[in-house]
């Protein structure tokens, strides 16, 4: 996979080490110690891998204060992962989380299937709580659980979301509701968490009295954006982001942050480069194993 480089292979049987031909990084130290003769373990490349993406299309993803909505950026992230995957001949499937529930899009290969998936995401309606007050609130934790139970074959799992769940407990609880199911998912699969952020979710302008509506519940409040309110908001936003980072780190997921006010292509390229360098360091460390 392009964003998360790795061997992508399964272990075969051990065989005798051939000096000058075999890579010492593939040395099977357990068999070598047991037989007192150097052995290596061959790797069998996987074919037709499946990548499954959970894309959050809840009302909060309809927010945006720049040229992009968070929903648009989520589609861009899905496209980047998808086209890198189908380029290698692998298949991509998706779970689409919206106010109407969870939709499953079957895994297919090829660019034509990827374009069809992206069009399906763009065509998915995103009603607000005002227009559909009785619509069930999307639950990110349940969606991750459905992805984990529905797709058991090992592979890459991508979760694209702002990780703002209206069912989440208060910030004083360090464990979001989605952390436990994501940890179970990461125990079996390689997980990439793509966090979508808008700058107005981090800081508010000094504009005085404003009306603010919660996109998830439709609740409207009048708020005076004075200095004290803005400071408290910035502190709460920073705490929420730190909480998300810590939870993803505990889950063992790779964390990619995309912002609506930044060049998302550059951010994805930098992330991929960091992952390749980290993978190279890991391989080098295994190569010097005594």
- CB burial of 262-286 (b: ≥16 within 10 Å; e: otherwise) equals eebeeebeebbeebeeeeeeeeeee
In a domain, 149, yes or no: yes
What is the C-alpha separation between 105 and 239, in angstroms, rounded?
Answer: 35
Q: Is residue 280 part of a domain?
A: no
Inside any domain, residue 289: no
Domain count, the chain: 1
Which CATH number is 203's domain given?
A: 3.40.50
Whether 138 maps to a domain, the answer reads: yes
Please report whether residue 21 resides in a domain: no
pLDDT tens series, the chain, 290 aa: 456 655 444 455 677 887 766 777 778 888 888 888 898 876 544 556 789 999 999 888 988 988 899 999 999 999 999 998 888 788 899 999 987 789 999 998 889 999 999 998 888 876 555 545 555 556 899 999 999 999 888 889 999 999 987 666 656 678 899 999 999 999 999 999 999 999 999 988 888 888 887 777 778 888 888 899 999 999 999 999 999 999 999 999 999 999 999 999 999 999 988 888 877 676 566 554 44
In which domain, by residue range, is 101 found? 50-259
């Amino acid at each position: 996979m392009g964003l998360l480089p790795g061997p992508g292979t399964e272990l075969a049987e051990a065989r005798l080490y051939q000096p000058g031909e075999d890579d010492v990084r593939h040395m099977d130290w357990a068999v070598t110690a047991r037989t007192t003769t150097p052995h290596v373990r061959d790797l069998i490349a996987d074919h037709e891998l499946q990548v499954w993406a959970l894309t959050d299309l809840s009302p909060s993803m309809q927010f945006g204060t720049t040229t992009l909505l968070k929903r648009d950026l989520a589609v861009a992230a899905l496209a980047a992962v998808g086209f890198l995957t189908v380029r290698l001949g692998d298949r991509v499937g998706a779970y689409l989380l919206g106010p109407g529930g969870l939709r499953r899009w079957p895994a297919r290969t090829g660019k034509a299937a990827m374009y069809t998936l992206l069009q399906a995401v763009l065509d998915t309606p995103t009603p607000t709580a005002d227009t559909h007050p009785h619509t069930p609130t999307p639950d990110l934790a349940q969606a991750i659980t459905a992805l984990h139970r529905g797709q058991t074959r090992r592979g890459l799992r991508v979760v694209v979301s702002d990780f703002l769940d209206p069912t989440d407990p208060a910030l004083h609880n360090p464990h979001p509701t989605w952390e436990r199911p994501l940890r179970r998912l990461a125990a079996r699969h390689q997980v990439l968490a793509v966090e979508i952020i808008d700058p107005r979710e981090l800081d508010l302008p000094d504009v005085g009295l404003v009306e603010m509506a919660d996109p998830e519940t439709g609740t409207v409040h009048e708020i005076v954006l004075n200095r004290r309110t803005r400071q408290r908001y910035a502190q709460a936003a920073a705490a929420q982001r730190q909480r998300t980072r810590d939870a993803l780190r505990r889950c063992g997921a790779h964390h990619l942050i995309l912002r609506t006010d930044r060049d998302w292509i550059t951010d994805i390229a930098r992330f991929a480069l960091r992952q390749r360098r980290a993978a190279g360091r890991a391989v080098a460390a295994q190569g010097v194993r005594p």
